[in-house]
């Protein structure tokens, strides 16, 4: 294969793509120049995975990249009707974020159960106030999303003694780790028994607004809700109301409808809500891991071998094998 053109929709810091030297012409672009440069590119690396510029710039006809890779688990920021309809391959960063996100969720669950926030606040006030906290072992978690991230969250919680109900798109009765994986239509029946509700679903038309007023109303008052999936999976006004009216006990959001979260958002001041800036999967060295993963897949592509993490564009995620 002759030297390829790799177009990088970049953000600071840029990816380290040393292994492509002499094999590909690497061109960095910003959102404003993306549309003009797409027709001359063989491969597009969406390094700035927060941008929706690809959706806006993707050509309806004519030359376009044959492969798009996004440095993220979700692909909702780049999929558009024209990209879904054409024969361009799309891959994602499956394999990089799963365990870090699972650890992040486990940390939140432990912190909520043991009331670490309350301890920090009482320490700040120099108050000695004995309290009783929750026991994790024997509690029940509903994890929505049976992809690699949801599975990593589920197995990590199982190790803490939590009973896990994993929900996917379709029911699977012979899962080696969870036994039964519930179908998506089982969610309403599982929410009333949940101590922990964790959203790790992909954003699709079927899941947008999944956690709305009705969903929060089905949760028991003891429930704690965590979203590390995508912001639009949650109707934020409904969550704010559920927390302020004490219809659920607490929540944590790492993703939001609008990012960065505006300074005037009511979410900053909602009681018993933990806000973090879309960082649950970002550990030291994560950018290097993303660059290595892309270069490994470039090796596959250059050799004419099947790509890893191939997204089913109509489903919006990498199907479970």
**What contacts 26, CB < 8 A, 6 or more positions away?**
6, 8, 17, 20
Please choose, from the candidates 247, 256, 246, the residue with its C-alpha nearest in 3D space to the C-alpha of residue 214: 247
Helix (H) or strand (E) holding 121: helix 116-124
CA distance 207 to 210: 5
User: What is the sign, positive or negative, of the torsion defined by CA atoms of 70, 76, 80, 85?
Assistant: positive
Among candidate residues 37, 69, 182, 230, the one labeled active-site is: 230
User: What would the two tokens of residue 9 be?
Assistant: 């929709």
Residues 75, 94 contacting (CB under 8 angstroms): no
Among candidate residues 208, 222, 259, 305, the one labeled active-site is: 259
212 Cα distance to chain centroid: 19
Among candidate residues 278, 287, 292, 308, the one labeled active-site is: 278
The reply to whether 278 belongs to the active site is: yes
Active site residues: 230, 259, 278
């Amino acid at each position: 294969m002759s030297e390829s053109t790799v177009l990088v929709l970049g953000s600071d810091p840029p990816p380290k793509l040393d292994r492509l030297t002499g094999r590909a012409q690497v061109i960095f672009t910003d959102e404003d120049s993306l549309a003009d440069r797409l027709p001359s590119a063989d491969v597009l690396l969406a390094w700035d995975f927060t941008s929706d510029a690809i959706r806006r710039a993707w050509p309806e006809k004519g030359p376009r990249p044959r492969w798009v890779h996004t440095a993220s688990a979700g692909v909702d920021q780049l999929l558009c009707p024209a990209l879904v309809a054409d024969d361009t391959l799309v891959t994602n960063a499956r394999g990089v974020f799963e365990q870090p996100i699972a650890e992040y969720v486990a940390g939140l669950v432990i912190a909520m159960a043991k009331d670490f926030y309350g301890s920090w606040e009482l320490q700040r006030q120099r108050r000695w106030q004995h309290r009783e906290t929750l026991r994790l072992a024997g509690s029940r978690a509903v994890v929505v999303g049976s992809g690699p991230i949801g599975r990593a969250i589920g197995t990590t919680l199982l190790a803490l003694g939590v009973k896990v109900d994993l929900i996917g798109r379709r029911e699977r009765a012979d899962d080696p780790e969870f036994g039964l994986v519930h179908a998506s239509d089982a969610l309403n029946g599982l929410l009333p028994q949940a101590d922990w509700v964790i959203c790790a679903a992909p954003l699709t038309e079927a899941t947008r607004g999944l956690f709305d007023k009705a969903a929060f109303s089905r949760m028991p008052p003891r429930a704690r809700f965590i979203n590390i999936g995508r912001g639009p999976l949650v109707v934020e006004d409904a969550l704010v109301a559920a927390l302020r009216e004490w219809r659920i006990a607490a929540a944590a959001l790492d993703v939001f409808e609008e990012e960065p979260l505006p300074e005037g958002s009511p979410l900053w001041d909602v009681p018993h809500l933990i806000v973090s800036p879309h960082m649950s999967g970002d550990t030291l060295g994560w950018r290097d891991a993303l660059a290595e993963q892309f270069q490994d897949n470039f090796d596959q592509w250059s050799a004419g071998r099947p790509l890893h993490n191939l997204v089913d564009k109509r489903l919006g995620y990498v199907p479970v094998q």
